[in-house]
Amino acid sequence: MELLLTDEELAGRVQASDRESFGVLVGRYEAKLIRYGRKFLSEARDIEDLVQDVFIKAYVNLQSFDPRRMFSPWIYRIAHNTFINALHAHRRLPVIPFDFDTFLPRLFAPETTDREAREREVRAMLDQGLDQLDEKYREVLVLFYYEDLDYQAIADILHIPVSTVGVRLNRAKAFLKNHVRR
């Protein structure tokens, strides 16, 4: 019965104290979040521990989730924050973290009819060039190509404008094409 319920319905049940339903959600997202963590963090670290932290945080804060919204961006947002904290654990962060590419409205070229061919080309280059990318470009690539999320969902996870998602994807793809060819 629980297998037929949507993520949002399951989250609603957990909020009403049905703990077993949380197990179903864990089962659905475990592999996805581990893959996301491995591709995004790229460095050798215990991804399983981090993903377990993500699920614990999700359970602790589940009453803040609105079941009328989508569950996927919500849990990916928790994962994003956990992975970013792990990434920056030994780095100094700027005093006021501000990203200039979220400031101005940006135009980005919409996908054209030869989209499938371009997508195949990018996917082939992803594993070779992912480590070389800055984290903000790497993350959008991972969420778009490996997690199959759309621009809106990625914008909600990263809390950036939808146009910025498109711009970062285009820049990341351009970098991969230049880098992998070399």
Partner 1 sequence: MFEDEILKKIQSGETHMRPRWQFTAQKTLFIIAIILATLLALYLVSFALFLFRHAGWRTTPFLLLIAGIAMVAILEILMHHYAFSYRKPVLYSLIAILTVLFIASISIHRAHIHERLELRAQQRHLPVMGKIYRLHHFPTRTPRMIR
Binding site residues, partner 1, CB under 8 A: 15, 19-20, 22-23, 26-27, 30, 48, 51-52, 55-56, 59-64, 102-106, 155-156, 159-164
Minimum CB separation of residue 152 from partner 1 in Å reads 8
Residue 83's alpha-carbon distances to 17, 44, 110, 170, in angstroms, are 28, 13, 30, 23
Residue number, 59 or 180, with CB nearest to partner 1: 59
Q: How far is the CB of 181 from partner 1 (least distance, A)?
A: 32
Closest by CA to 173, choosing from 135, 131, 119, is 119
At residue 120's C-alpha, the angle toward residues 33 and 99, to 5°, is 55
The smaller minimum CB distance to partner 1, of residues 1 and 114, is found at 1
How far apart, in whole angstroms, are the C-alpha atoms of residue 176 and residue 130?
A: 8
Give the residue with the Cβ less far from partner 1, 64 or 112: 64
What is the C-alpha to C-alpha distance for residues 129 and 176, in angstroms, rounded to an integer? Answer: 6
Q: Smallest distance, Å, CB 123 to partner 1? A: 27
